[in-house]
Amino acid sequence: MMTIGSKQPLPPKGNKVRLYSNRFCPYAQRIILVLDAKKIPYDVVNINLSNKPDWLYDKVPHGKIPALEVENGEILTEDLIIVDYLEDRYHQHPLYPKDPLQKAKDRILIEKFNKVVNAMYRMMMSVGRMNMTDDEVISQGLSVFEKELTERRTPYFGGTKPGMLDLMIWPWCERADILKVFGNQHILKRDKYKKLMEWRVQMTDDTIVKKSLLHSDYHIKYLQSYRAGMPDYDLILNSN
């Protein structure tokens, strides 16, 4: 874990790209999922977000995480821009549909899911009174994806295996059990989201997803430390 005073790591070796990340960041996990799915060589430098090393600001604009270091030391930021770059740059194991219209529709759904992400974030960070508007945003958003998966009649949004849409929404679905711990278990109704619940089980069994998968206990403990004002970025190391 790189923190204040840490020495800047040497440039990545060979043809590897480098991800400046944090283990508990869902936006970084999006990028890791794509790197693993496309079998792109990479290494990860995890950053302490509370005490970022000084050299990070020289390398990455505003010290923003996640960031990807590519050819000639160029730096890319913004998770969705990065995954689209990886899809265009590395043609093996394509993740978007071949059909341009379906690809556009999947991108629209990824953007729509951002409303669910924002509502989940507000809900997880709040202490005390819950915002019923966020409940509604999450419920309506999940209903859209339940209907979409039902109409596609495939185990994944990407067909017989996870595609870009699956991977982009997964980090927050992996963390969904956190809602139950903080009093919002009514949102995740199995009878209302049957297809999504089946999809979630299949995703946890997927070989690629398993590489970055964390048990809900880790996400819950990390969020508790974050809400207490002392985020434990070394939680996984300390648990071993």
pLDDT, tens only, 56-110? 999 998 999 999 999 888 999 999 999 999 999 999 999 999 999 999 999 999 9
Considering the domain architecture, whether residues 202 and 111 belong to the same structural domain is answered as yes
- Above 90 in pLDDT, residue 24? yes
Q: Which residues pair with 77 in a beta bridge?
A: 67
- Above 60 in pLDDT, residue 239? no
Structure tokens at 231: 């985020």
Identify the domain containing residue 43 by its residue range: 17-89
What integer pLDDT is reported at residue 127 of this predicted model? 55
Total domains, the chain? 2
pLDDT, tens only, 142-170? 999 999 999 999 999 999 999 999 999 99
Considering the domain architecture, whether residues 68 and 147 belong to the same structural domain is answered as no
Cβ neighbours of 17 (radius 10 Å): 21
What integer pLDDT is reported at residue 186 of this predicted model? 47
- Of 201, 116, 211, 109, the residue nearest 163 (C-alpha): 109
What integer pLDDT is reported at residue 51 of this predicted model? 95
Instruction: Let me know if residue 42 belongs to a domain.
Output: yes
What distance lies between CA 180 and its chain's CA centroid? 19
- Of 71, 89, 91, 85, the residue nearest 15 (C-alpha): 71
CA–CA separation, 137 vs 172, rounded Å? 14
Considering the domain architecture, whether residues 183 and 164 belong to the same structural domain is answered as yes
Side by side, which strands form the sheet with 67-69?
42-46, 17-21, 67-69, 75-77
Considering the domain architecture, whether residues 123 and 178 belong to the same structural domain is answered as yes
Residue 77 near residue 129 (C-beta atoms within 8 A): no
Considering the domain architecture, whether residues 169 and 118 belong to the same structural domain is answered as yes
- Going by the DSSP 8-state scheme, the letter that residue 51 receives in this structure is S
What integer pLDDT is reported at residue 14 of this predicted model? 86
End-to-end CA distance of the chain: 15
Considering the domain architecture, whether residues 83 and 134 belong to the same structural domain is answered as no
- Compute φ and ψ for 68, nearest 5 degrees: -120, 125
User: Tokens 């300390």 belong to which residue?
Assistant: 238
Considering the domain architecture, whether residues 43 and 123 belong to the same structural domain is answered as no
Strands 17-21 and 67-69: antiparallel
Considering the domain architecture, whether residues 143 and 174 belong to the same structural domain is answered as yes
Higher pLDDT, 134 or 175: 175
CA–CA separation, 239 vs 17, rounded Å? 29
Residues involved in catalysis? 25
Q: Which residues pair with 159 in a beta bridge?
A: 156
Considering the domain architecture, whether residues 83 and 110 belong to the same structural domain is answered as no
Structure tokens at 210: 């398993």
Considering the domain architecture, whether residues 123 and 194 belong to the same structural domain is answered as yes
Residue type, 90: Y
Single pTM value for the model: 0.93
- Going by the DSSP 8-state scheme, the letter that residue 21 receives in this structure is E
Cβ neighbours of 186 (radius 10 Å): 10
Where residue 71 sits, what CATH number does that domain have?
Answer: 3.40.30.10
What integer pLDDT is reported at residue 172 of this predicted model? 93
Instruction: Let me know if residue 233 belongs to a domain.
Output: no
